[in-house]
Amino acid sequence: QVSDRLQVFGNLESNVRSYCRSFPAKFKRASGHQLWDAEGRSYIDFFAGAGALNYGHNPPEMKKKLIKYLVEDGISHSLDMATEAKERFLTRFNDVILKPRGLNYKIMFPGPTGTNSVESALKLARKVTGRQTIMSFTNAFHGMTLGALAVTGNKFKRSGAGVPLNHTLSMPYDGYMGRDVNSIDYIESFLKDSGSGISLPAAVIVETLQGEGGINAASDEWLIGLANLCQTYGMLLIVDDVQMGCGRTGTFFSFEHCGIVPDLVCMSKSIGGYGLPMALTLMKPELDLWEPGEHNGTFRGNNLAFITAAAALDYWESQAFSHEIEEKAELVCNALVEIVASVPELKGEVKGKGLMQGIAFEAGIAEKISALAFERGLILETSGTDSEVIKIMPPLTIDRTGLVSGLQILKDCIFDIAV
Ligand code: PMP
């Protein structure tokens, strides 16, 4: 069946394959949490454009604003120039997101992707501190360019590129050394020992929950401990919120839960609101030491994205959206716990937070589930070094019916695989 449908690729076969997983269909249309392929089959989306579609496909209110802007011949591309669309986004971001949270950041448009944001943060941290080393963590994922890859803790992603690993320091993420080991104490033992041979890092880059790395959530205590280490040793704290930001874990920023205030924050994916490329690097005002031209790029003025990004912030004007995410997260968590308990032979472990949850299995099982689910109309990603985790990452706007239907397909697939 799958091989029959592979034929629908037709001329797309000339497209170089670089994504790690393939979904054998040619998609035509999408709305909310659903997609339809060229043959009219429908799919529930538990993948959400790898986190770029937190507000679903073609959200109507954003679409309307986008169409109006296009009809009125709005600027589409403006590099670094000032435009009304950019000003409106910045004003809304300050008013709706930063001020109510008591945060004061300058906002940089580092380029269109999450990787661009990470690169800008790493460069700025080195410039500001005069130090060179960047500390990152086991199983981290920060992007695909050489600098971002150097702080990525995944040998598979690094393979083939001969990534230079000088001036990087990979340390154990929360839980990596076992649940009972405090890796913050372990990390500090290197930093405080002049005999360790480690030069003090310019910055620490961290995901509060590792999405690509296998849905590993750091505890609040660990994140607070890390922020304290940064204070003590003069390291800047960079939170990579490219995937966990924009509400994925329940609050707009993933670090709001534990009250830490990073020096730099990397954002992309859903910040554009409509799947349009856009990224932000937030920095404490005193860190803005860029000289003109020091971090350039052609595609930093995507005004279509500014229009939808400003509209997306409407969701965050009250607490209601966060509450909805929490309710749906509870529904997902209960369903996953029930599924895992019903098939003890698969030894599944439920992981995650907010609408970034999953089940870890022994290697090989999650990929089978993902393939079978796709056959049955559910798009599901896997994550982790051995693709051992099934990742449940629907649009945050998915309704209860969509969520329950998707979870039912997942349950059936897991039961069928267990037999
Ligand atoms: N950081 C994190 C945490 C990510 O999950 C990703 C993308 N999966 C990136 C950075 C890179 O973003 P992009 O693919 O837009 O370059």
Map residue 119 onto helix, strand or coil.
helix
Residue 204 reports pLDDT greater than 60: yes
pLDDT in tens, 109-141: 999 999 999 999 999 999 999 999 999 999 999
Task: For a ligand 1 pocket test, name from 120, 141, 270, 299 the mutation site with the most ligand atoms within 8 angstroms of its C-beta.
Answer: 141
Q: For residues 213 and 391, give the distance between their C-alpha atoms in angstroms, rounded to a whole number.
A: 11
- From the list 259, 364, 366, 256, the residue with the least C-alpha distance to 319 is 256
Q: For residues 189 and 135, give the distance between their C-alpha atoms in angstroms, rounded to a whole number.
A: 14
Q: For residues 223 and 331, give the distance between their C-alpha atoms in angstroms, rounded to a whole number.
A: 27
Ligand 1 nearest atom to the CA of residue 244, by list position: 3
Look at ligand 1, atom 5, and give the residue with the nearest C-alpha: 243
ipTM at complex level: 0.99
Ligand 1 nearest atom to the CA of residue 50, by list position: 8
Residue 295 reports pLDDT greater than 60: yes
Q: For residues 83 and 300, give the distance between their C-alpha atoms in angstroms, rounded to a whole number.
A: 12
| Distance, C-alpha 302 to centroid of its chain | 20
Which segment of 38-52, 94-108, 160-174 scores lowest on mean pLDDT? Answer: 160-174
Look at ligand 1, atom 1, and give the residue with the nearest C-alpha: 142
Give yes or no for residue 141 CB within 6 A of ligand 1. Answer: yes
Task: For a ligand 1 pocket test, name from 113, 142, 173, 242 the mutation site with the most ligand atoms within 8 angstroms of its C-beta.
Answer: 242
CA distances from 322 to 43, 94, 316, 407 (A): 26, 18, 8, 21
User: How is 334-366 classified by DSSP, letter by letter?
Assistant: HHHHHHHHH-GGG--EEEEETTEEEEE-STTHH
User: Ligand 1 center to residue 412 CA distance, Å?
Assistant: 31
Please give the average per-residue pLDDT across 235-249, as a whole number: 98
User: Ligand 1 center to residue 60 CA distance, Å?
Assistant: 26
Please give the average per-residue pLDDT across 96-103, as a whole number: 98
pLDDT score of 163: 84
Residue 10 reports pLDDT greater than 90: no
Q: For residues 48 and 124, give the distance between their C-alpha atoms in angstroms, rounded to a whole number.
A: 31
pLDDT in tens, 316-337: 999 999 999 999 999 999 999 9
pLDDT in tens, 302-320: 999 999 999 999 999 999 9
Structure tokens at 53: 């579609």
User: Ligand 1 center to residue 245 CA distance, Å?
Assistant: 11
pLDDT score of 7: 46
Ligand 1 nearest atom to the CA of residue 148, by list position: 10
Ligand 1 nearest atom to the CA of residue 210, by list position: 3
Average pLDDT in the chain: 94
Q: What is the pTM of this model?
A: 0.96
Q: For residues 409 and 373, give the distance between their C-alpha atoms in angstroms, rounded to a whole number.
A: 7
Please state the φ and ψ torsions of residue 186, each to the nearest 5 degrees.
Answer: -60, -45
Residue 20 reports pLDDT greater than 70: no
- 279 pLDDT tier (thresholds 50, 70, 90): very high
**Partners of 257 in beta bridges:** none
User: Ligand 1 center to residue 389 CA distance, Å?
Assistant: 18
Structure tokens at 6: 């592979």
Neighbours of 4 (CB within 10 A): 8
Give yes or no for residue 113 CB within 6 A of ligand 1. Answer: yes
pLDDT score of 4: 47
pLDDT score of 6: 45
pLDDT score of 377: 98
Look at ligand 1, atom 12, and give the residue with the nearest C-alpha: 114
Ligand 1 nearest atom to the CA of residue 112, by list position: 15
CA distances from 97 to 2, 274, 288, 304 (A): 45, 18, 20, 20
Give yes or no for residue 118 CB within 6 A of ligand 1. Answer: yes
Note whether 235 and 135 are within 8 A (CB): yes
Give yes or no for residue 59 CB within 6 A of ligand 1. Answer: no
Q: Using a CB cutoff of 8 Å and minimum separation of 24, what contacts does 6-15 make?
A: 8/37, 8/38, 8/39
- 158 pLDDT tier (thresholds 50, 70, 90): confident
Give yes or no for residue 211 CB within 6 A of ligand 1. Answer: yes
